């Protein structure tokens, strides 16, 4: 599995298809969908309709990152739209184990996301029952933000905890990822990299994907 998960949040939707065709030739496996409800975060992005359209047109697997206040309401619609992975935020109050079960019962991989200021303790109890943890390295809501440097330490600490608990969950990072910080993040223990601006704004996507992958031995996850 290619560890790069391009986020389409910041793209110009009028040339999305051309960009995605370039990702196909660059052997990208997953596309990351930043779903925003205008309540959990200020901005509104897109819904399950876009996921369905992408599934019908491309071979990519879809990783939906739900930045929504009511993930219990949104999850069934994204499962029905055909997404493959679904993460929701640990900051939304609600029944985390129940939501993880809802996602898995829908034959999707289940992920738990946490904001840069959320204590790691909040996800510690779930490390053995999630498929991945999404560590936000920016505050959610917008693409193109600056990487928060303390995220490196958080990734390293979380990875240690995952190893201590003998968990198989993967560690995904999202926000301000570029070819300079991808290597150190990989070293700190990150497995999967959500990349928006650095990829979509690249002059040559294929070249940039290669530069990213040169930063990390592409372990066959
Ligand atoms: C924030 C989004 C972004 C996006 C990545 O809510 O989750 O982090 O995926 O965007 P870039 O790579 O532009 O920071
Ligand atoms: Zn995201």
pLDDT in tens, the chain (221 residues): 899 999 999 888 999 999 999 999 999 999 999 999 999 999 999 999 999 999 999 999 999 999 999 999 999 999 999 999 999 999 997 899 999 999 999 999 999 999 999 999 999 999 999 999 999 999 999 999 999 999 999 999 999 999 999 999 999 999 999 999 999 999 999 999 999 999 988 889 999 999 999 887 665 55
- Any atom of ligand 1 within 6 Å of the Cβ of 110: no
Which pTM value belongs to this model?
0.96
Q: Given this model, what pLDDT does residue 221 score?
A: 52
Which residues neighbour ligand 2 (ion) by CB within 5 Å?
A: 34, 65, 174
The torsion angles phi and psi of 206, rounded to 5 degrees, stand at -60, -45
- Any atom of ligand 1 within 6 Å of the Cβ of 195: yes
Q: Given this model, what pLDDT does residue 200 score?
A: 87
Q: Given this model, what pLDDT does residue 94 score?
A: 84
Whole-number Å distance, alpha carbon 67 to ligand 2 midpoint, is: 8
CB 16 within 8 A of CB 205: no
CB 32 within 8 A of CB 63: yes
- Catalytic positions, written as ranges: 34, 174
Burial readout 9-46 (b: 16 or more C-beta within 10 A, e: otherwise): bebeeeeeeebbebbeebebbbbbbbbbbeebbeeebe
Angle at 129 between CA 125 and CA 133, to 5 degrees: 75
Ligand nearest to the CA of 65: 2
Q: Given this model, what pLDDT does residue 219 score?
A: 55
Q: Given this model, what pLDDT does residue 71 score?
A: 98
List the one residue out of 98, 66, 81, 197 whose CA is nearest residue 144.
197
Could you tell me the strand order of the sheet in which 109-114 lies?
A: 4-6, 192-195, 170-174, 132-136, 109-114, 85-89, 61-67, 30-36
Whole-number Å distance, alpha carbon 34 to ligand 2 midpoint, is: 5
> What tokens were used for 214?
């040169």
Say how far apart CA 194 and CA 174 lie, in whole Å: 5
Q: Domains of the chain by range and CATH?
A: 4-213 (3.20.20.70)
Q: Given this model, what pLDDT does residue 10 score?
A: 84
DSSP state of 44: B
CB 110 within 8 A of CB 100: yes
Whole-number Å distance, alpha carbon 118 to ligand 1 midpoint, is: 17
- Any atom of ligand 1 within 6 Å of the Cβ of 178: no
Residue nearest to atom 8 of ligand 1 (CA): 175
């Amino acid at each position: 599995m290619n560890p790069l998960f391009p986020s389409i949040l910041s793209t110009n939707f009028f040339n999305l298809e051309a960009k995605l065709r370039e990702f196909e030739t660059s052997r990208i496996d997953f596309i990351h969908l930043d779903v925003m409800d205008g309540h959990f975060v200020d901005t509104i992005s897109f819904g399950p309709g876009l996921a369905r359209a992408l599934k019908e047109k491309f071979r990519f697997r879809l990783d939906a990152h739900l930045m929504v206040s009511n993930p219990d309401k949104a999850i069934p619609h994204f499962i029905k739209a055909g997404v493959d992975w679904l993460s929701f935020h640990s900051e939304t109050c609600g029944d985390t184990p129940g939501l993880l079960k809802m996602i898995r019962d829908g034959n999707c991989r289940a992920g738990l996301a946490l904001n840069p200021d959320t204590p790691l303790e909040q996800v510690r109890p779930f490390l053995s029952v999630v498929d991945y943890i999404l560590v936000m390295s920016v505050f959610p809501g917008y693409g193109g933000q600056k990487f928060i440097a303390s995220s490196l330490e958080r990734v390293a600490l979380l990875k240690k905890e995952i190893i201590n608990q003998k968990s198989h969950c993967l560690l995904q990072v999202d926000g301000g990822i570029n070819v300079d910080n991808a290597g150190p993040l990989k070293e700190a223990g990150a497995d999967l990299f959500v990349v928006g601006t650095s990829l979509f704004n690249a002059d040559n996507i294929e070249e940039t994907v290669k530069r990213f992958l040169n930063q990390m031995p592409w372990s066959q996850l």
